[in-house]
Structure 1
């Protein structure tokens, strides 16, 4: 993972996420791209000045975030980007060959009942780039145990586990696989993927109505430093991310959440 993208929402979340990204990059040798999205207004009716003010405010926020983080010798490139939040992030990610996006669960508006805000939720739903969602005020620590929660043991997308493999190697971490058998599981989903077999340390199987219920049941016994899930064409997480915002009653974790795109 050589290129990490950190979009700024609120200043506090931007500081928290940049600190995490810098610590991550200090271990991996990655470059961190810190961006802030601002709206471009129509040039008609003198709105050009409004756009200029928005860009200047945006740059000032980037400068404040940078001033509050010790970059530890990591290369951090900061730039304001015009456009809507999702389109801007998607455009920059493609141009810079981003390997990992580090974001807050809620980027701007903080609502206690919500786990994923609308901007983060939309990114999760539409991007195929691995995303690491950092809880509010979470302090970086070297991950020793990663919990991968899956329903199916086989994967449609080739090399879908490569980002997870990279993180395991970076941290010298153990991978604990939690296979949650739900009532709709198909027989072909029982075949253990060769790549998964190579990287897993422990394997636990449980029967629950949803993957989330299985995670809740086994979370304490595993005590993961990172929780990893896959977004697929169907299943619990496909349904969960159909709407942009995700409520805590439907899904919530106090650990960083790594989301991989399992859609071919």
Structure 2
């Protein structure tokens, strides 16, 4: 994961400085570059104000650089990246040219008065982009990843290179991965057949019967005490339904540790 993208200013509650510092610490371990992004809306061009959009771009760069000045860069390459237009469209367009490997987002506040785990823009990015996403809890400080809990319903992973991010994390941190297979009401016998690359990663396996994947995760989090939770956002099933309306309520899903969302289309 050499190119890591961190959008700023997409949530009122997420603390972008802590998230940016986490991204820097994470990138340092992987030898990556961090693109610090802020979108700006281009105004309709006017003959009397030909430089207005350049001014808006410059303001965005200044805002990004002010954020960068507040963190310890630790020798990691940070690139201020103002993106023109809607963030949900600008990031995929940028990805086509620069091959972003990971987006790091912040979860909403852990205050009990805040009902959402992900807000509208963050939830939309997870739902609509093909880029893997790492979601960091508020004020979460980076630490070495030793144990990973991967929660799945089916062992079928058809999307090419879907496992590449978790493979790199396991290799970089010399981590172990425990696979939790949650058998819900629509579980099929063929779901027990694991894709070869997935089977090769697993250090241990356990199955659980629950109404939803989230319930299975909650049941086993304390037992496993992982440093990272990994799931697949499939087109169908619990995680497909979870992001249907973009925003994600805490009552439907929440993670107090970093959550890696991989693309594993059915």
Bin for the TM-score computed over the shorter chain: over 0.9
| Greater shift in the superposed pair: 37-46 or 188-197 | 37-46
Equivalent positions of 1:245-260 (< 5 A) are 245-260=247-262
Distance across 1 between alignment mates of 2:261 and 2:19 = 16
RMSD of the alignment, in Å? 2.1
The aligned counterpart of 1:226 is 228
Tell me how far apart the structure 1 counterparts of residues 108 and 40 of structure 2 sit (CA, whole Å): 17
SS of equivalent residue, structure 1 residue 250: coil
Q: Which residue in the other structure is 1:97 paired with?
A: 99
1:4-46 superposed Cα distances (whole Å, 9 cap, x missing partner): 1111126973322221111112111111111111111222597
Q: How far did residue 80 of structure 1 move?
A: 1.4
Q: TM-score, normalised by structure 2?
A: 0.91
- Measured at CA, do residues 211 and 118 of structure 1 come closer, stay the same or move farther in structure 2, by a change above 3 Å? same
State the distance in 1 between where 2:80 and 2:161 align: 31
Counterparts of 1:1-264 in structure 2, within 5 Å, are 1-9=1-9, 13-44=15-46, 51=53, 54-106=56-108, 112-263=114-265
In 1, Cα distance between the equivalents of 2:99 and 2:200? 27
Aligned length: 261
Q: How many Å apart are 1:79 and its aligned residue? A: 2.2
Cα displacement (A) at 1:52: 5.1
* Superposed displacement of residue 136, structure 1: 1.1
Could you tell me whether the CA contact under 8 Å between 1:7 and 1:89 is conserved in 2? no
**Structure 2 CA distance for aligned equivalents of residues 158 and 96 of structure 1:** 19
Q: 1:190-212: CA deviations, max 9, x gaps?
A: 11222122111111100000000
Task: State the 1:229 CA deviation.
Answer: 0.5
The 2-side partners of 1:82 and 1:143 are apart by 35
CA shift at 1:94, angstroms? 2.0
Distance in 2 of aligned mates of 1:104 and 1:54: 25
TM-superposed CA distance for 1:49, in Å, is 6.9
Q: Is the 8 A contact 2:108 2:114 kept in 1?
A: no
TM-score (norm 1): 0.92
Q: How far apart, in 1, do the equivalents of 2:243 and 2:90 lie?
A: 20
